[in-house]
Amino acid sequence: MKVGILQFAPRLGRVDDNREAIAAMLRRRKFDLAILPELATTGYNFADRRQAWEAAEDRKGRSFDFFGELAAAAGGVIVWGMAEKAGRRLYNSAVLTTPNGDHHVYRKTHLFFREKLIFDPGDTGFRVFTWRKVKIGVMICFDWMFPEAARTLALAGCRVLAHPANLVMPYCQAAMVTRSLENRIFCVTANRVGTETNRHGALRFTGRSQLIDPSGVRLLGFTRTEKAFKTVKIDPRLADTKMVNRLNDLFKDRRTDYYRI
């Protein structure tokens, strides 16, 4: 399975410009799975809900057709971040788009800092999606801080965890090694680069996107400022065994009776 990460610097509120930048980086590229940053079409550091609403799209928005066309040309799935309108609600969402034009939406469960003032809490729950017999799980950025998110996806059969992000704290990249190890899955964090400023202040994003294998090895990495689309081939079957040695199975050894409070 050929997995790619696109790391770039979306422009705040400039949806057309961001789609153009994404197309330039993905056009004529072949992959089975490509993962883009959180809010890749809109940028991140909105001053308020109104500004985010103006950049957001509903299910009829141009971005859905746009990513469907890119996925069809590449022959693979694309996971991309957007601000999603649904009635009067506004979600920080990630969409898994297949080459045949199917769209599966995950809405961010754990909102970070001022996101709580802008977006509604996600209501989709954690689900896996099957593509070419590989189960793909999706979570967004700050979801990483809650081990239950990745564990829920892993227990549902996730082999590859797609993790669009706009990280500003320095901890996640190291923590995702643990998420891979404790679940024996591939974890793919697609972060962004650059700085965004609004009247509340500036945010500087940490870059350093990465793909970690089930044994905690980084198979693909980026610098803090690099703008690129890079791919690596993985064997998803490595996530099928939860054995860490001949006697310990990470899932079968769980003693859930003792995890209750």
Average of per-residue pLDDT across 30-57: 98
How far, in Å, CA of 129 to CA of 133, rounded?
A: 9
List the structure tokens of 38.
Answer: 């959180």
Q: Let me know if 57 is a catalytic residue.
A: no
Q: Has this prediction a pTM greater than 0.85?
A: yes
Among residues 115, 141, 158, 172, the one annotated as catalytic is: 141
Q: Let me know if 38 is a catalytic residue.
A: yes
DSSP state letter for 74: H
| Per CATH, domain 2-258 is 3.60.110.10 | yes
CA distances for 144 relative to 102, 175, 186, angstroms: 26, 8, 14
CA-based nearest residue to 188, from 75, 13, 36: 36
Q: Where are the domains of the chain?
A: 2-258
Tell me which amino acid residue 232 is: V
Among residues 85, 108, 135, 242, the one annotated as catalytic is: 108
List the structure tokens of 134.
Answer: 């590989």
**How crowded is residue 98: how many other Cβ atoms within 10 Å of its Cβ?**
18
- Predicted confidence at residue 64, as pLDDT, reads 98
Q: Let me know if 252 is a catalytic residue.
A: no
Share of the chain above pLDDT 70, in %: 100
Give the pLDDT confidence of 146-200 residue by residue, as tens digits: 999 999 999 999 999 999 999 999 999 999 999 999 999 999 999 999 999 999 9
How far, in Å, CA of 46 to CA of 33, rounded?
A: 29
Give the pLDDT confidence of 222-258 residue by residue, as tens digits: 999 999 999 999 999 999 999 999 999 999 999 999 9
Share of the chain above pLDDT 90, in %: 100
Mean predicted lDDT score pLDDT of the chain = 98
